[in-house]
Amino acid sequence: MRTTAPRCLDAGEAALVVEFGDSVDPAISAEVLALDAALRAAPLAGIVETVPTYRSLMIHYDPLALTRAALVAHVEALERAAQESAAPSVRWIIPCCYAPPHGEDLAAAGEALSLSPERIAELHSGADFRAYMYGFAPGWCYLGGLPSALAVPRRASPRGPTPRGAVLIGGGLSLIGADPMPTGWYVLGRTPERLFAPERDPSFFVEVGDALRFEPIDEATFRALEEKGARGEMIARRETTR
């Protein structure tokens, strides 16, 4: 239960930041996601779109259609009515190949964590994750729920571009990448699923706030699923949690 109300900060005259805290914390994230869900369930004319992050919700709005005061009042009313936290209603099962050649940085992460590569894969695929936010590039999805045994700091200097669909850890979080990018995180494996596929409908399917689990697959399964994905089919499985 929260003891203090969120802060409303201005990012210019067309964006309001509703800030619940200044750290990466499951309880803070849950409050952000609950407000985001409440706003999407009770949309207000003049709200353009919302961007949830670990600790705050940015509300882009048209100040000529919706005054700041009316927006803040709406947010405060939703806050008072909001559940303590909105539990995820959807869980995605994301296949992930931790085996060579895909677990590129398992050995390096194992050294940093004093764990065997097998144990890292076991801990990672046994964890319940939640999509905290997207950022960095389209389809790069940051996940909370990483077991503390896997909390490795980011690398001192970035590694080369990640493979497509990289599954990574760093800074106490996990992350699914989309297009290749250099990163300071560790690549534990790869998913044949694409969190962003512009030609597919929907282009994105994991919503911020959804639950996720990784399902270990071998290299042969990875190749078969990757071909399926290339035909535009969805690979991840959807489960309802309530």
Partner 1 sequence: MSARLILRAVGPGVTLQDAGRRGSLRFGVTPAGPMDARAFAAANLAAGAALGAAAIEVSLGGLELTAEGETIGLAIAGGEFDIRLDGAPLPFACALSLEPGARLTIRAGRSGAWCYVAIAGRIDLPPTLGSLATHTRSFMGGLEGRGLRAGDVLPLADIISPPRELLALEAPWLAASEEPIRAVLGPQADYFSQEAIGEFLSARWRVGQRSDRMAYRLEGGRLAHAKGHDIVSDGVALGAIQVPGDGAPLVLMADRQPTGGYPKIANVIGADIGRLAQRRPGEAFSFSTVSIEQAVAARRALGEAIGAGVRLRAVGGEISTELLLSANLIGGVADAYRPLDKE
Cα-based torsion angle of the residue sequence 10, 14, 15, 16 in order, rounded to the nearest 10 degrees: 50
Q: Are 201 and 118 in contact (CB under 8 A)?
A: no
Please report how close the Cβ of residue 24 comes to partner 1 at its closest, in angstroms.
6
Residue placing its CB nearer to partner 1 in the complex, 98 or 134? 134
Please report how close the Cβ of residue 84 comes to partner 1 at its closest, in angstroms.
22
Separation between Cα atoms, residue 18 and residue 11, nearest integer Å: 10
Separation between Cα atoms, residue 201 and residue 86, nearest integer Å: 26
Please report how close the Cβ of residue 85 comes to partner 1 at its closest, in angstroms.
19
Residue placing its CB nearer to partner 1 in the complex, 75 or 99? 75
Binding site for partner 1 (CB under 8 A): 9-15, 17, 19, 22-24, 48-58, 60, 62-65, 68, 133-141, 179, 196, 198, 203-204, 208
Which residue is associated with the tokens 């849950």?
A: 30
Residue placing its CB nearer to partner 1 in the complex, 139 or 229? 139
Residue placing its CB nearer to partner 1 in the complex, 26 or 100? 26
Q: Are 98 and 46 in contact (CB under 8 A)?
A: no
Please report how close the Cβ of residue 216 comes to partner 1 at its closest, in angstroms.
26
